[in-house]
Amino acid sequence: MKLALGCDHGGFELMQEVKAHLDELGIEYEDFGTYSTESCNYPVFAKAAAEAVASGKCDRGIVICGTGIGISISANKIHGIRCALCSDCFSAEMTRRHNDANMLAMGGRVVGPGLALKIVDAFLNAEFDGGRHETRVKMMMDLENNQ
């Protein structure tokens, strides 16, 4: 599995923790920036990471800003993206199982690194349940496809 990563200055420090964790797990990723704590604009990095997932270049993505809100809203503007903002492990697991989320967003000013890495694990280890959820995910994607 290859992950697309993106963050702004508010998520930069937590992203370094996430990258170290992925390195330990031997999970491949492409880091689309930002690459420092210098103030920047989260839609730029949301777009780059989300397009890598939408195009199939990467399998899933993780994006982080201060709250996780701006970068998740931005990622969800890219067709084909289902980006879930999670601050707990249950939501991270269930958004894979029920929503087939292909991107995880977190807030670097919301969750500490210990919890964040557990959230990452929950997101990466869960698979889509399919079945009745397949219909709902298709209906969800029709909302953007039919616009």
Residues engaged in binding ligand RB5 (CB under 6 A): 8, 10, 42, 65-67, 69-70
- By beta carbon distance, the residue nearest ligand RB5 is 70
- Residues 5/19, Cβ–Cβ less than 8 Å: yes
Instruction: Report in angstroms how near the CB of residue 74 gets to ligand RB5 at its nearest.
Output: 9
CA distance 126 to 122: 6
* Closer residue to ligand RB5 (CB): 61 or 66: 66
Instruction: Report in angstroms how near the CB of residue 129 gets to ligand RB5 at its nearest.
Output: 30
* Closer residue to ligand RB5 (CB): 45 or 124: 45
**Which candidate in 7, 65, 83, 86 is catalytic?**
65
CA distance 112 to 134: 33
* Closer residue to ligand RB5 (CB): 8 or 100: 8
Q: Is the dihedral of CA 8, 13, 17, 23 positive or negative?
A: positive
* Closer residue to ligand RB5 (CB): 72 or 100: 72
Q: For 51-60, b where at least 16 C-beta lie within 10 A, e where not — what string?
A: bbbbeeebeb
9 is catalytic: no
- Residues 96/128, Cβ–Cβ less than 8 Å: yes
**Which candidate in 9, 21, 89, 98 is catalytic?**
98
Other beta carbons less than 10 A from residue 103's beta carbon: 29
Instruction: Report in angstroms how near the CB of residue 80 gets to ligand RB5 at its nearest.
Output: 22
98 is catalytic: yes
Q: Which residues are catalytic?
A: 65, 98
